[in-house]
Amino acid sequence: MSEPILLSLDVESLDLEGQGIAHHEGKVVFIEGALPGERVLARVTRRKPSYDKAKVERVLRPSAQRTRPPCPHFGVCGGCAMQHLEPAAQMAVKQRALEDALAHIGKVRPRQILPALQGPASGYRHRARLSVRLVPKKGGMLVGFRERASSYVADMQSCLVLPPHVSALLMPLRNLIGGLSRPDRVPQIEVAVGDEATVFCLRHLEPLTPADLDRLRAFGARHRIDWWLQPKGPETAHPLDPARADALAYALPAYGLRMHYRPTDFTQVNPHINQALVARALSLLDVQPGDRVADLFCGLGNFSLPLATQGRAVVGIEGSAALVARAREDAARQGLADKASFAELNLFEVDAGWLRGLGHFDRMLIDPPREGALAVAQALADLAPDERPRRVVYVSCNPATLARDAGVLHHVGGWTLAAAGAVNMFPHTAHVESIAVFEP
């Protein structure tokens, strides 16, 4: 076996995976566990023609912002990447990542930097996918997140970012799943925590026996958990107790709304930040009572229904038929069906002609997945000045695709990037959520 390659490196910055960035003999080195401003002794773990990967062996000169990770599993579990960096510094890194992406990818700078949106740094994760594996060498069942850069499941007894009552069930879940008839055929548990209910959606590759169902019911009663079962794809998920099918919901109290959802539906992971994000988006849009508003990639109506309480009419458009149906149901349930309409459409294939066909919108909100909204950006850039919304708010979960789309809007369409700022939806991770405002 060859001797490990050890390098003494000065760390310059962080990448979007939370890795330190340094240079050695003209080559970029990405260093797991290193922070900007530090000098570290790093062990090279992978060599590529254009870059190397490394891991900190010893910190020779620590950053003043380095802190003791609060979770004992940090460094092994892949759920978090930045617990060794103070929370305020994490936010600064994310804001810089957003600004760098806009400048380098989009070649555009915001007129105003918005204050960062922050919330609790622990117990915030109300949505999670827990992997389940039978590993006899580690004592039986493992339930938790994957190890960092690995397909193995981390041996976790607790989790800092899960709500405390869910974290406390990681070990009991091991015993429960280990006692099922086919524990080796249970690959994951989807966790969804609502305001008044916690749902565990069990993915099972073999039919469950009556004894299995009895064990699940007993566990649910003891720990106040609602079980859903998913034998195949997400569309097959169903409640073990049909009477509890509508138990999951979260409130948006500023608008008098209660949003209902299923455990397999997309909802924001962090309810504290979600409320703040909805409030900021609506404030930035500045919807007037007579305005007609478009909400693209609307999902369940997380922004659409609050918007319907302020404007004349809202049109929500989404690619998922299931989410469109859910949004319509909630609009009717909350007395907003006359102001909020929803349609299913693939928004990755639209153009300016399609936008014109919808009629004029005074305001527009865009909240795409990580792939961004390139087709929408190109369509907006192609609209004539008198056809354009007066303001567009773009909520992003990927600064690279936001920057790309901002570049199209600005350089092709002449739109102004009026403001942008980071949102700490996922504390302790390298995930960068952000919000941007465009004006024609």
Task: Mark the binding-site residues, compressed into ranges.
Answer: 71, 77, 80, 159, 268, 297, 302, 318, 346, 367
> Does residue 251 lie within any of the structural domains?
no
Q: Please report the pLDDT score of residue 274 as a whole number.
A: 97
Residue 193 in domain: yes
Q: Which pTM does this prediction carry?
A: 0.93
Say how many domains are in the chain: 3
Write the burial class of residue 337 (CB in 10 Å: 0-12 exposed, 13-18 middle, 19+ buried): middle
pLDDT confidence of residue 150: 87
Indicate if 185 and 227 belong to the same structural domain.
yes
Asked if residue 406 and residue 330 are part of one domain, the reply reads yes
Shared domain for 171 and 29, answered yes or no, is no
Known binding residues for S-adenosyl-L-methionine are 268, 297, 302, 318, 346, 367
Kindly report the three-state secondary structure assignment for every residue of 331-365: HHHCCCCCCEEEEECCHHHCCHHHHHHCCCCCEEE
Judge whether 132 lies within some domain: yes
Asked whether residue 151 falls in the same domain as residue 226, the answer is yes
**Is 201 among the catalytic positions?**
no
Burial class (CB in 10 A: 0-12, 13-18, 19+), 56: buried
Is 380 a domain residue? Answer: yes
Classify residue 291: in a domain, yes or no: yes
**pLDDT score of 4:** 86
The amino acid present at 134, given as its one-letter code, is L
Same domain, 376 and 277: yes
Q: Do 110 and 175 share a domain, yes or no? A: no
Give the pLDDT of residue 149. Answer: 80
Whether 15 and 98 map to the same domain: the answer is no
- Please give the Cα distance from 366 to 297 (Å, whole number): 6
The predicted pLDDT at position 312 comes to: 97
In a domain, 286, yes or no: yes
Q: What are 304-356's pLDDT values in tens digits? A: 999 999 999 999 999 999 999 999 999 999 999 999 999 999 999 999 999 99
Residues 224 and 291 in one domain: no
Domain assignment present for residue 76? The answer is no
Annotated binding site for [4Fe-4S] cluster: 71, 77, 80, 159
Catalytic residue among 201, 397, 402, 406: 397
Q: What is the pLDDT of residue 248?
A: 96
Give me the DSSP letters along 192-207. EE-SS-EEEEEE-SSP
Q: Identify the pLDDT of residue 15.
A: 83
Strand partners, 113: 420
Inter-residue contact 158 to 79 (CB < 8 Å):
no
pLDDT given for residue 198 in this prediction: 98
User: What residues of the chain score a pLDDT lower than 50?
Assistant: none
* Nearest alpha-carbon partner for 398 in 278, 319, 297: 297
- If asked whether residues 285 and 433 sit together in one domain, one would say yes
- What is the domain range of residue 158? 127-244
